[in-house]
Each structure stands twice: as structure tokens, then as C-alpha cells.
Amino acid sequence: MSINSISEIEFGADLPAFEPDTSLSAGSEFADLVGWTGGRFSSHELAKKEGFPSAIIPGIMSQGYLIAMIHNWAPSAEIKKVDTIFRAPVLADEGHSITGVVTDIDEESSLVEVDLTVTNSKNETRVFGTATVYIP
């Protein structure tokens, strides 16, 4: 169900789960598009030479997925801020999922705060953060 008004939102509500495309090809293509040419995004082998366990997904691509998830949930939302803390790299070709949950509602200012967590298939938190979202 998509959200159109702040009055529809309840504290603790889950956003629909989101499974981002964290394949090597998607990460590599994104890195190319934004002009990030490092091998860490395009090759598992080159990433290992740089000290990573395997190729990684660009951080701003992960942030893009967080934003996409919020817009899937509330298409009219205006995202004021996404504040992320990268605890560990998001590894390419590993399955990840993103969860979001409403943790603050300020009806006066029409602002909602959402906790966001990116976990891998072992349920380890790789990235977490919060988004501040304006929903009329």
C-alpha cells in the first residue's frame, strides 16, 4: 500500500521490504556512469587487491536504493535528508535487503523519520541510517 498523506502513517509501521540489485554488473555500470573508475566496483579480483573481500557497491548507489525504497512507499514524499553510516561494505554479487520503519512522526511539520537498515543474506547490518521525509 502506498502512502499519500502523513495521516496514514503510524509509528512503528514497516515500509515494504526492498531487495536491491547488488550484482557486480549493476554496481560496475553505476560506477561507470558517475565516473568512478576504481577496480573495486568492477572486478572481484581487483577489489581483493585493494584489500576488500570482493567487489563493492558504490556507497551513493546504496543511498539511491534507500531513496527508491522510500519513494516506492510514499510516491509524493520529499526526502529532506538521508543520513547513512556504512558499518561494512555492501559486497557485489551478494544478496542484500533493505528494511525501513517509521520511528518518529511530527504531524505539525509533516515530517517523518524512517530508520533504514541494509543487511546481507547472513542478516548482518552493513549500512544503517535514518531518513527525514516530508509527507504532506
Work out which of 17, 33, 60, 88 binds another protein, going by CB under 8 A.
88
What would the x/- binding string for another protein be over residues 46 to 85, using CB under 8 A? -------------------------------------x-x
**Among 66, 110, 68, 69, residue whose Cα is nearest residue 86:** 66
| Segment holding 134, helix H or strand E | strand 125-134
The answer to the question of residue 130 lying near another protein (CB under 8 A) is yes
Which of 2, 5, 103, 109 lies at the binding interface for another protein (CB under 8 A)?
A: 103
CB-wise, 27 or 89, nearer to another protein?
89
Give the number of other CB atoms < 10 A from CB of residue 129.
18
Pairwise CA distance, residues 67 & 77, whole Å:
10
Side by side, which strands form the sheet with 78-86? Answer: 78-86, 125-134, 111-120, 96-106
Q: By rule CB under 8 A, what string of x and - marks binding of each residue 5-44 to another protein?
A: ------xx--------------------------------
Taking the mean position of all CA atoms in its chain, how far away is CA 10? 21
Contact positions toward another protein, by CB under 8 A? 11-12, 83, 85, 87-88, 101, 103-104, 113, 115, 117, 122-125, 128-130
